[in-house]
Amino acid sequence: MDLQMPGMDGVAAIAEMRRRFPSVQVVVLTSFGEIERVHAALHEGAAGYLLKDAGPGEIAAALQAAARGEVFLDAAVARRLAQEIRSPRSGLRSLTAREREILRLVAEGRSNKEIAAELVISERTARTHVSNLLGKLGLASRTQAALLAIREGLVPPGV
């Protein structure tokens, strides 16, 4: 499964496939190695994550691991995940560029549906991003997130 597809993004497609066909294992093969995309794909149930420069042996190994119920990660992706675990970022620094963008839109009072439409992503993906940023920031609500965004200068007060 690629992550960049017309109509439905790959993360939403993984979630839908896993919902409809729980026994199906999905291996991501994409050119996007950003850690937030890895997190989103794995969160939705991907059994593997490869970059498009993977060789035939690596692709075969990922498919075999998925068939055994294991998770296979591209070596570079695994290194990034390990680095993130060893030295996690905190506060607003912990947010990806996409999460900061979502936070700004939340602070502007946008709904998940409006965020999805503006960013051309699925509503489910928007909801996942909001949930991820709330978790990273240790916040319980969109209101708290909006107040933090204003306090930190991501959006001007009164927006």
**45-82: per-residue pLDDT in tens?**
999 999 999 999 999 999 999 999 999 999 989 988 88
CA atoms of 157 and 159, how far apart (whole Å): 6
**142-158: per-residue pLDDT in tens?**
999 998 888 888 877 66
The answer to which of 49-63, 77-91, 92-106 has the lowest mean pLDDT is 77-91
Concatenated DSSP letters of 29-58: EES---HHHHHHHHHTT-SEEEETT--HHH
Around 107, how many Cα atoms within 13 Å sit in the side-chain half-sphere?
22
Domains of the chain listed by start with CATH number: 10-86 (3.40.50.2300), 91-151 (1.10.10.10)
Cβ atoms 27, 17 nearer than 8 A = no
| Residue 110 DSSP symbol | -
Cβ atoms 106, 146 nearer than 8 A = yes
Question: What is the pTM assigned to this prediction?
Answer: 0.59
